[in-house]
Amino acid sequence: MLGYRFSKYTPQGQTPFDKLFDLFKQLLTYTSGDVGEALSWLTELDKEYKLTNPDYGIGDFINDLRQRGYLKEEHQGSGNFAITAKTEQAIRESALERIFGKLKKSGRGSHKTGFTGQGDEQSSDLKSYTFGDSIEQIAMLESMKNAQVNHGIGNFMMSEDDLVVREQEHKTQSSTVLIIDISHSMILYGEDRITPAKNVAMALAELIKKKYPKDTLDIIVFGDDAWQIEVKDLPYLQVGPYHTNTPAGLELAMDLLHKRKNANKQIFMITDGKPSCMKINGQYYKNSWGLDRKIVNKCLNLARSARRLKIPITTFMIATDPYLQSFVEEFTEANNGKAFYTSLKGLGEYLFEDFERNKKRKVR
């Protein structure tokens, strides 16, 4: 008996275009959507790792990108390319696949709660029939068993008292705001922190679109100020020479959620640094030297305000400084929210699990 034999895995059916396109999508995220820079990197990688072959080169790949609608010329005859909406969606799908794995589409995505009653999805629990329960909920096999037990087999009959129904779980819609720190520290110390944050945002957006289409997702970035961006803008997002105006990000997030009609609302915040900036009477107040109590108190007050509005804040802290973690603990306690101290590698998994397993939801 030979038993099992293992060999190097070779993907089946992957064309030269598919192989290069997977790498090209990742490079576009690193280069903030700069097609020229991404293609330059791809050419250099080809020289070192022999990604192409004599029958299919980088020039063929570029032609295929244009013919398939992934690239367009910025200006007619200029020779400079830009990505299309089709490419933006492909990048989001790629991020979803890498971070969250293969997820099946759901026709009507929503989040389960612990409440039962008239809802969208049947549970395994049974209860006696009461007026108002729909016919579709009746568990016929169990009801017939009850009729046989209660009335005998010889003269079969069924009454209302014999009927049992399957309980259904309420399913709720959720409004999420994801706020991303784009201060200068997100690329300091030789570590690229903004690219994983962008990948997580794109994956979450694609997840909600495919699995929870009734949910809403708003994305905010904050540096010296905070502003809202569209999902399509994520591949182009860059870090700036900014301080960290955490209060501005939180205030804008709460304003957006105030306009949402969903009962369940939450804020996810991805940051690596301390709050070092806020605005007072239209003027910037900045202090990068340690934790400024004036700025910290503003953050804590906003956390308490969100708590009163029943908006939990989950902080994903990608820095390990003890004094910064201490601030996050104080902030989390003020909001009664959650905090994850995670590496860049585990960021997506943590966010996904918290999004999926949030049990503190209510039904209006």
Q: Is the pLDDT of residue 110 over 80?
A: no
Cα-trace Rg, the chain: 26
Choose among 201, 197, 131, 123: nearest CA to 161. 131
For residue 208, what pLDDT is reported?
86
Band the pLDDT of 132: cuts 50, 70, 90: low
pTM summary value: 0.74
Contact (CB, 8 A) for 314 and 268: yes
pLDDT tens digits along 197-252: 999 899 999 988 887 888 999 999 999 999 999 999 999 999 999 999 999 999 99
Rounded distance between C-alpha atoms, residue 61 and residue 48, angstroms: 17
Instruction: Tell me which DSSP letter residue 232 carries.
Output: G
Tell me what pLDDT residue 257 has: 97
pLDDT for 20 equals 95
pLDDT at 116 (0 to 100)? 36
Q: Give pLDDT, residue 295.
A: 97
Q: What is the pLDDT of residue 158?
A: 82
Q: For 38-53, what is each residue's pLDDT tens digit? A: 999 999 999 999 999 9
* Mean pLDDT computed over every residue of the chain: 84
Q: What is the pLDDT of residue 6?
A: 60
CB-based contacts of 174, cutoff 8 Å, min separation 6: 110, 111, 212, 215, 216, 262, 264, 265, 266, 358, 361
Q: Give the span between the Cα atoms of 82 and 161, in whole angstroms.
A: 68
For range 176-189, the mean pLDDT: 90
What is the predicted pLDDT for the residue at 126? 78
User: Do the Cβ atoms of 139 and 166 come closer than 8 Å?
Assistant: yes
